[in-house]
Structure 1
Amino acid sequence: MSAAATRLLPVLAAFALGGTIAPSPAADGVSGDTLRSVESFASIRDPAKRSAALFVEAGKVIQHPRCLNCHPATRVPTQGDHLRPHVPPMVGGVSDHGAAGLPCATCHGAENQPTSSPGIKTIPGNPHWGLAPAEMAWQGRTLTQICAQVKDPRRNGGFTLQKLIPHMGEDHLVGWAWHPGEGRRPAPGTQAQFGALIKAWVESGAHCPAG
């Protein structure tokens, strides 16, 4: 952990004790939520309806706090299961990795870091830690709106549908959502299950749920 991060921990802890950050009582990689298998949707005979249902299931991950916190429309990250404002105050900046004077790497390292500060069990970490690009911001949008956005290369970071499959199912930063560190509730299921749902959704026509 950086020296700057060490200096910030007492400040973060003070905010936590004041109720700004409330870690979830879940261990790293252990979630009470599950994802249905692709095979469980085989009974839906209409391909378009089956495709939309697959995306709804994948939406359990896409709209989970572990993902939403890094996909804010305001370019200001949020924290916790209730999408609280980031502490200390942060902005994505030009590079999506923080402002010039306070980059994300000030506190976030290449991996989750345990702390001894009250109220904060771990500081999240990944070699590419930062906000999703502005065009991939979907916090506050409905699943139907997110689906249309995810399909549009102009609004999804330039991904084609085929390139979305490995991005969702294999990308290491996306995978952090299932290994968020002690004190945070992981995303439902596993990244492999999520990737399989996205693959089946794409291969069935990438239809969006009504809404």
Structure 2
Amino acid sequence: MRELHLNERYACNKCPFKTRCKKPLTKHIKENHSDGQWYECEHCPFRTKYKTSLVSHLRMKHLNDEKIKWYECEKCPYKVKQKSYLKKHIISIHLNEEELKWYECKECPYKGKFETSLRKHVNRIHRNQQDGKWHKCEKCAFKTRLKSNLEKHINCFHLNEKVVKRHECNECPFRSMHKLFLERHMTAVHGIELL
């Protein structure tokens, strides 16, 4: 990997691929230029260089409901295929206020159950508050109050379409570039709330 100092871009030394973020470059090199082993799905064209990704793909896309290891809530009928979703469910629905670890804003009374919720709050409410201007992506529905976040978004997701991460529904073929759209889909279509 070679690092270009102009605009903090990372460039592949084997092809024209460039990105501002290091993680997509590492993934690109592993998937396109390494001699490492490919893990291929026996049921569809999916393939990956990550064994854990294949295992996750098989569990989410090809196991029938009887064979899937479901993570079930002990306090209600909620069940899910991923353990992390169950943990978020329990924190959101079943823990009382005394049991929660709260993430508190230093600038206002806001407190959230998740660190990511606090981070989103701070970015939405307290950053660039003086001008209240939104910076919108011209290629998709992404918007942010921070111009630097928009630049990062464009460089990570639109610089090379192969880099775009797709958020996929575990219940049907729906997929989206945006996690928020997947969350809305899951709630509206399947009655499942992702946290």
Q: Which has the higher contact order (CA 8 A, sep 6+)?
A: 1
TM-score (norm: length of structure 1)? 0.24
Work out which of the two has the higher radius of gyration on C-alpha atoms and give 1 or 2: 2
The structure with the largest strand share of the pair is 2
**TM-score normalized by the length of structure 2:** 0.26
